[in-house]
Amino acid sequence: MAKIAVLGYGTVGSGVVEVLATNSESITKRAGDVVEVKSVLDLRDFPGDPIQDKIVHDIDVIINDPEIDVVVEVMGGVEPAFTFVKKALEAGKSVCTSNKALVAAHGSELLAMAKERKLNFMFEASVGGGIPIIRPLNQSLTADEITQITGILNGTTNYILTKMSREGSSYEEVLKEAQALGYAERNPEADVEGFDACRKIAILTSLAFGSTVKFEEITTEGITKISTEDFAYAEQLGCVVKLLATSKKVDNKVYAITAPFMIDNTHPLYNVNDVLNGIYINGNVIGDVMFFGAGAGKLPTASAVVADVVDCVKHKGKNVMTIWSSEKLELGNTDDMKRDFFVRVKGNDTSAVKAAFGNVATITIPGVEDEFGFVTGMLTEKEFNEKAEDLEVINRIRRDHTKL
Amino acid sequence: MAKIAVLGYGTVGSGVVEVLATNSESITKRAGDVVEVKSVLDLRDFPGDPIQDKIVHDIDVIINDPEIDVVVEVMGGVEPAFTFVKKALEAGKSVCTSNKALVAAHGSELLAMAKERKLNFMFEASVGGGIPIIRPLNQSLTADEITQITGILNGTTNYILTKMSREGSSYEEVLKEAQALGYAERNPEADVEGFDACRKIAILTSLAFGSTVKFEEITTEGITKISTEDFAYAEQLGCVVKLLATSKKVDNKVYAITAPFMIDNTHPLYNVNDVLNGIYINGNVIGDVMFFGAGAGKLPTASAVVADVVDCVKHKGKNVMTIWSSEKLELGNTDDMKRDFFVRVKGNDTSAVKAAFGNVATITIPGVEDEFGFVTGMLTEKEFNEKAEDLEVINRIRRDHTKL
């Protein structure tokens, strides 16, 4: 019998308990042992809930329980999760978490702590919800040098952008709708400003390149400035706007960015809609590979957490995760990245644009007065900013041309 | 230093040697040890090739070499691969293979032999080339009861069908072209008759459900009867024709089939074109998840083999694969599967069709004389066959309505 504790009985925590109960037979077979939830840490009581007798309010009850082999941390946020996870590892318990904030901030340290103690620190659910992505990066793509990771890693913003694209509704309208449906939080900042996707690409990039990416150093732009008009221009260009989180290795330097991008229908992520997540990876020998699925949600996320629990139980006494070193990965400067841009400029006089960017084709949208759009040639962000300095830019959206 | 032997210096074997050389630094880091090819078994010599001094012609030189920890079997075919792999496991060596014929025929036995001896028998490259699918099924989807696996698992037939769909060319023309390009073999039977895809779905189904599927028992139809006219009808229906290999659990019974299916643009595999492979999986908690990538090719396949080698080196002395039992999985009878069918009937008289299948809409294609098409309602294969018995059926193609 393998006994586990769950820290946090919220959406994911209750999902973990539910999945273990629903699929107990097949999970036992795969883990090689019965997996039982012994304790659930939460500030609240849950009278009437099947786990009411397992609720504890004090983390030390769990830490000091020698029967508990694996701790599932699904509270979210850096503290007190970080303190609790360290205590669990110090007490000889493996840890599985869905907490991207914790992993992005302290992943390398917790991986090293686990390895030293022949334990495991696993976090499949921290990126892409149920989509297997951490384990494939950790164990399947080991023959490759990764050259690019590009993902739609946040379901909330993808839902909003999909709705805006399909229905021509405004950002504010769709956000309200998403909040009403529970797809967006009341304070949606972490999602709509790109912070969530930024932490996820930091985790994937750290794993892929083997050293620590500071998520604070990743250029991050949210979707709050994307408007109905932007989508009208995008449509004329045969494109959609997606929040991409991406890292690329160019000339031995890794460049990472989280921002809205215009992509056309040849892009591998063009059809990743609604709350789905999609992740494109290129390796120098495997070529292109892609993963799609539900990026969030109670049961898909719990499925990934429980798969980690199964791995911990199966590999008791043996560390199986590739660690990434605590050494900092010095990211390249976003200013040096070459790409093309879609730009909207105020007024009707195209002469300043043509003087700065050459003889570009201009685009106008019926009903959208006193402005026009155009697409630049390939240039660095720095060059773009210099050339655009004297223009009255309404918005500019980067373009991405990844192809399968 | 971990020393390995490669059995077979063909396309995949030379790819394995190349990948180990190209990415030796990162592979060493991930394996925790330098991986060196000590011997290569082949009937031929390779004068001038970097591995010329490593060539051996006698398997026993490798079997009796105590320095060799891992054997890579990339010869293909059941024999002598099976004999060699058994010898290697008996001698205490882990085995990695890309050989779907071997795995489909003897997977459970070889997995059990490896487990008994605390070795590993790995076969990531046997399905989907470079796409990580065996390891995700084995280690990531462990919290789920799998309810469906549907894949485009053969690149050759997908290339042919894609070309036929896009260019309106005949099967025979495109096959010739594919053979000239090296995408199809001179004797294309294993691909075009669906035998290759059938073995691959047998492997995935065995892994997902934990007992052995006899590939010989999977209903298998190839693409040789698919014509230009079928694609013309498909286009009118907003569909394409794809060779799907699929297994589904319905009422606790698993049904498997490999056959051409008509699918529309809401199907998750609709956009998997050319030599790409795609695999859709549904689990009872994770929901939908999908994997795409190069399903074949020297380097993608070698990437998967080398990832297995890394895993074997990392987990020396510890079995990490879920075994599937040698117990036979009794497949449900294809005759009982409910679906709808696209049917082409000779002549212009629709009365017999309407008498048998109800008031179905008929379709005609300009320039295609003396026949018409229609789509049936949902019915079992048995019911379909009974109703169609007295019609002059030119072709019938099953339809699949999997949605994300």
Q: What's the pLDDT tens digit per position in A194-220? A: 999 999 999 999 999 999 999 999 999
Report the CATH fold assignment for B335-399: Alpha-Beta Plaits (3.30.70)
3-class SS of residue B212: strand
DSSP B124-175: GGGSSTTS--HHIIIIISTTS-EEEEEEE--HHHHHHHHHHHHH---HHHHH
3-class SS of residue B288: strand
Size of interface A-B (CB pairs under 8 A): 183
Per CATH, is A338-399 categorized as 3.30.70.260? yes
- Helix, strand and coil content of chain B, in percent to the nearest 5, comes to 40, 25, 35
- ipTM for this prediction: 0.91
Burial class of B348 by CB neighbour count within 10 A (0 to 12, 13 to 18, 19+): exposed
Weakly modelled stretches of chain A, pLDDT under 50: none
3-class SS of residue B282: strand
> How far is Cα B404 from Cα B290, in angstroms, rounded to an integer?
9
- The verdict on B312 touching A (C-beta cutoff 8 Å) is no
- Residue among A25, A137, A139, A267 with most chain B CBs within 10 A, to mutate: A139
Q: Tell me the CATH class for A137-295.
A: alpha beta
Edge-to-edge strands, sheet with A68-73: A55-56, A35-41, A2-7, A68-73, A94-97, A121-122
pLDDT at position B181: 87
Percent of chain B topping pLDDT 70: 100
pLDDT at position B295: 85
For residues A72 and A4, is the Cβ–Cβ distance under 8 A? yes
> How far is Cα B123 from Cα B102, in angstroms, rounded to an integer?
10
What residue spans define the domains of chain A?
Answer: 2-129+298-328, 137-295, 338-399
Q: Is B249 a catalytic residue?
A: no
- The verdict on A285 touching B (C-beta cutoff 8 Å) is yes
- The verdict on B132 touching A (C-beta cutoff 8 Å) is yes
CA distances to A126, B127, B281, B301 from B132, rounded to whole Å, are 19, 9, 13, 10
> How far is Cα A78 from Cα A101, in angstroms, rounded to an integer?
6
Query: Which entry of A3, A200, A242, A248 is annotated as an active-site residue?
Result: A200
Count the alpha carbons within 13 Å of B205 in the hemisphere toward its beta carbon.
32
- The verdict on A322 touching B (C-beta cutoff 8 Å) is yes
pLDDT at position A96: 98
Nearest to A399 by CA among A303, A263, A296, A228: A263
pLDDT tens digit sequence for A150-199: 999 999 999 999 999 999 999 999 999 999 988 888 999 999 999 999 99
Per CATH, is B2-129+298-324 categorized as 3.10.580.10? no
Beta bridge partners of residue A72, listed in sequence order? A6, A96
* Helix H or strand E segment including B65: none
pLDDT at position B70: 98
pLDDT tens digit sequence for A18-51: 999 999 999 999 999 999 999 999 999 999 999 9
Q: Pairing mode, if any, of strands B393-399 and B253-264?
A: parallel
Quick one: how far is CA A173 from the chain centroid? 24
- The verdict on A270 touching B (C-beta cutoff 8 Å) is no
pLDDT at position A31: 92
Provide the residue type at A240 as one letter. Answer: V
pLDDT at position A321: 78
Which residues in chain A touch residue B23, judged by CB atoms under 8 angstroms apart?
A: 143-145, 284-285
- Residue among A303, A311, A314, A315 with most chain B CBs within 10 A, to mutate: A303
Q: pTM for this one?
A: 0.94
Burial class of A6 by CB neighbour count within 10 A (0 to 12, 13 to 18, 19+): buried
Domain A2-129+298-328 homologous superfamily, CATH? NAD(P)-binding Rossmann-like Domain (3.40.50.720)
Quick one: how far is CA A387 from the chain centroid? 33
pLDDT at position A181: 87
Weakly modelled stretches of chain B, pLDDT under 50: none
For residues B127 and A140, is the Cβ–Cβ distance under 8 A? no
Report the CATH fold assignment for B137-294+330-334: Dihydrodipicolinate Reductase; domain 2 (3.30.360)
3-class SS of residue B218: coil
